[in-house]
A and B are shown apart, each in its own frame.
Chain A
Amino acid sequence: MWKEYSLSYIKRNKASSFSIMVTGLIATLFFSMICCVFYNLWRYDIEHIIRDEGDWQGRIVNETGSADTEELQQGIQNHGNVERVNIWEDQDDRTVIDIYFEDVRQAFRDMPRIAEQAGLADAEVSCHDYLLSQYLIFNPEDEQPPMLLGFFILVMALAAGSLILIIRNAFAVSMNSRIHQMGILSSIGATPRQIRTCLLQEASALCIIPILAGSVGGIGLSLGLIRIMEWAVRDMSARAPVRFQYHPAVFLITILASGMTVFLSAWFPARRMGRLTPLQAVRNESEYQLKKRKESRILAALFGMEGELAGNALKARKRALWTSFTSLTLSFLAFSMFLCFITLSEISVNYTYYEKYKDSWDVMVKIEGAGNEDSSDIMESEPEEMLELKEVPKPEEMPETGEILDIENEAKSKGAGEIEEVRKIEGVESCVAYRKVTAFTRIEKEAFSEELQALGGMGAVCESAVQTGEDAWEVEVPLIILDDKGFAEYCRQIGVMPQLDGSIMLNRIWDSVNSNFRYREYIPFVKESMQELLLADEAKDKDEDDARGTVDDGRSDSVGYGVDDEKTSRLKIFAHTETPPVLREEYDDYALVQVIPVSLWRQISNRIKSERTGGEIYLRILASDDSKVNAIETAVNEIFSGGYSIETENRVQEEITNSNMMDAYRLIVGGLCALLAVIGIANLFSNTLGFLYQRKREFARYLSIGVTPGGIRKILWIEAIVIAGKPILVTMPLTILFVAFAVRASYLDPWEFIVAAPIMPMLAYVGFVFLFVGTAYYIGGRGLLNSDLGEILRDDVMA
């Protein structure tokens, strides 16, 4: 039958065969490209994580050093699922054991068991949640696992689903147009099996080359796309280049999925044809019918009898139109969700970065390792005479920063460090050098502010705070060590008299009860009467602390935190404020930040170690205007060119780079979305047109009972509106639900999203859908009305 019928059919119906081949090629091309791009982005993410955090799957950090390392290693190695372990020491001299599993899917199950067997505390073991989540292995105890990968998989699946439906649709239209021929074949003795085989052979012959070519072409397209992406983000600093990668499994998936789609697309219609009786097929009595009585009330009410006819015709062809409807819905869903996701990301980034630090910095300099040498003169600039001012002046009497600095004699400034040179660069309005060191303190319950106590204390606002004993809490104390001039500037900013022997307490804590993280409100952390903090180098557990005993120096507002020894230090607090220094810094929500001058740091640094910070010094520079930022950055690099390892960031450049990156991102994502849109619309176009040509008899019948050509046009337009409008009506609530969920999850003000909502691109998409469906109906309808319907009516087999 292949030689006698199929081959000649393919040759004689070149247009139809060509259409199927092109459809198969385009669909496979994009399917292959989407799979390949997704694979590359996925691999890039994994490499990025491994580069930043390592490739370990489970990790044990032996904090106390209590366990014997060799014994521990032996015990872990003996666990059935452990493939290998890697032991090393971190900068705090702690033993770190990285574990790699045979079956990584069991990592979250096995790590607690390993810890239990080794007699380790739960806090000492962890799984690499982020890395494992890339393999869709999530922590069962994590209530909010990373969803980004899942979201991308969903979008890719929607896109791939749309492409697969296109192939299926191309076959469905072709097969439906051949029912009559198959009936003739059947009537002269072709068995259903022969008919099925014949159609499958045709499908294979038409699609093998397009599928292979499309799969290979898709790899080329994705390579091009990745090159474009790489070019778009070329200015981004601290970024590893995207390297094109390919895996044979991706090729296999593409080929198999496309092949299966073609097979099933041919199989289902072929099976349906095989079931028709010869008479049915010859008469083409497979005309779409309603199985049970249905009424199109809304369309009838809106458009009268024509509305009812259109509605019922659509209902009768519901299954046939399912492909079109699904592909368009999927593509619009992916399109709208992608756009909303990007909009939400942009709003979020603005909140967490650009808006927040907009006026905090122009140039940031990170000087590696300089802070380890406390004798380093980088931060030398202290006007020690400030200490001689005993009274805090009123705000209007406050000397200008310059005046404060002028208090220092000129001879001093001659010996000042590089920071002074930076301050003298033209265009530098302000420059602060600072370091970050973390210490700990313990705060008695009574010392908490009244506002905090009214909320229920630390436990109410911060579930993860460490309570040591019934009445005291261990709190992290980030020390922000400013150079003395910077410190004086800060004092002036908050309206207090500078003192170089004490600390300014950033006395605030996030009121997590009455505000969310997006719109934080702060309340005072401790009572303003607190004049001193006892700092410890590192957090102490309760047992250790109990062994030492707590200090009670007789003042209820002071903090007892171990006896004064070489690892603790008393910090005098001379001012409380809720205004942080103007730095590009984010502080922990429940930490008690202390801002101190470098002069004071020198006195306590032997007790508070700074290893955790790596000893970096940061310079925050504000320029008088944006045009000078690049020159300042260059000058700073020159100043530090000898003997220092520095990294500089430039806000203006960063904003330009970010803007370029976002533009490129929009271009790429927009391109992908447009692609999805084209896929859905093209599918609908071919489907609609194909079906219209098969419906001549239906319209001839309408004409025979007196429906006017205008009535026929009305029916067609109603159908077009319904076909184009339905996917949009279905998608809109889903998109709104998604956005509502995302807005709620990210604690954004809904109005902010509404203002920035991607309404125009979505309206454009809706417009395109209506335009293309309308065009398909216009072309199809014109063809119908111009054809000789009388001829169809004359046909004796008209059903």
Chain B
Amino acid sequence: MKLLECKDVVKIYGKGTNQVTALDGINLAVERGEFAAIIGASGSGKSTLLHILGSVDSPTSGNVVIDGVDLNQLNAAGAAIFRRRKVGLIYQFYNLIPTLTVRKNILMPMLLDKRKPEEEYFKQIMASLGIEDKLDALPHQLSGGQQQRVAIARALIYRPALLLADEPTGNLDRKNSREIVDLLKLSNRNLKQTILLITHDEKVALEADRIITLEDGRIIADDRR
């Protein structure tokens, strides 16, 4: 069952002689519960694709449908609510809100919807990520690995349809990288979470069920393992 479908997605930046085509006719479908990795060289368009899928950017042309929602139809507020409920975004530099505690950072998407989390689910995530004892700390009081765990917890808290991770291990050492990838695999396996992971690290990509390779804005390989 398809969770995500991109049809002829094109993204062009700039105008005239400064025009750059970041994505050039991307057609992609991802099944529910799939763990896919997108790899490619720097400038291949992988981050652009992730931002379009995360509705923080919009394609120049083409359609993206996620969990039955056509992203082109969303206005700014609709896109924000979509991000909040349907997509979990994980960045290389965590993007935690420095003025809020770990607990509030994690609960933020739910609090914005004035909803309370399920206590059981919250505890389950905290336990699996190993950050139960850090809930009252501020982000800058945590290590990089811990901050990335918090970012993953925040991305998972709303049980999003799709988890988008942009180089989540790019800023971590080998040990922490390993642990983060294991956590993503665990959430994919235990929570049936659909994950799209962007990385330039082939070792990390090899952990995924499917590897999609981008080059100059086009998909040049799509290997299921």
- A contact residues vs B (CB 8 Å cutoff): 287-290, 292-294, 304-305, 308-309, 312-313, 315-316, 701-711, 789-790, 793-794, 796-799
Contact = CB atoms under 8 A, between A and B. Distances in A.
A701 B108 CA distance: 12
A705 B138 contact: no
A704 B56 contact: yes
A147 B93 CA distance: 59
B47 A316 contact: no
Nearest to B114: A304
Nearest to A289: B98
10 contacts: A289-B140, A293-B137, A294-B99, A703-B80, A704-B89, A704-B91, A705-B154, A706-B83, A707-B112, A799-B93
A794 B47 contact: yes
B172 to A, nearest CB: 15
B97 interface: yes
Q: Which of B54, B91, B114 has the most CB of A within 10 A?
A: B91
B201 interface: no
A602 B51 CA distance: 109
A645 to B, nearest CB: 79
A706 B109 contact: yes
Nearest to B155: A705
Given A789-B56, A790-B56, A309 B83 contact: no
Contacts of B101: 293
B99 A706 contact: no
Given A289-B138, A304-B114, A794 B85 contact: no
A693 B51 CA distance: 23
Interface in B121-155: 136-140, 154
A333 B139 CA distance: 38
Question: What are the nearest 10 A-B pairs in CB distance?
Answer: A706-B84, A312-B99, A790-B57, A708-B80, A289-B98, A708-B77, A706-B83, A305-B111, A790-B56, A709-B76
B85 A706 contact: yes
Interface of B: 47-48, 51, 54, 56-57, 76-77, 80-85, 89, 91-93, 95, 97-101, 104, 108-109, 111-112, 114, 136-140, 154
Contacts of B109: 705-706
Given A701-B95, A794-B51, A706 B81 contact: yes
Contacts, number: 96
Contacts of A789: 56
A315 B83 CA distance: 27
A179 to B, nearest CB: 16
A793 B79 CA distance: 15
A790 B54 CA distance: 10
Contacts of A798: 91, 93, 95
A309 B112 CA distance: 11
Contacts of B140: 289
Contacts of B138: 289-290, 292-293
A539 to B, nearest CB: 76
A524 B182 CA distance: 100
A485 B8 CA distance: 114
Contact of A706 (B57, B91, B112, B139): B112
A309 B56 CA distance: 20
Nearest to B111: A305
Contacts of B111: 305
Most chain A CB atoms below 10 A, which of B76, B82, B98, B108: B98
Given A290-B99, A305-B108, A706-B108, 13 more contacts: A290-B138, A309-B100, A312-B99, A312-B100, A315-B99, A704-B54, A704-B89, A706-B109, A710-B77, A793-B91, A794-B51, A796-B92, A798-B91
B71 to A, nearest CB: 13
A289 B89 CA distance: 22
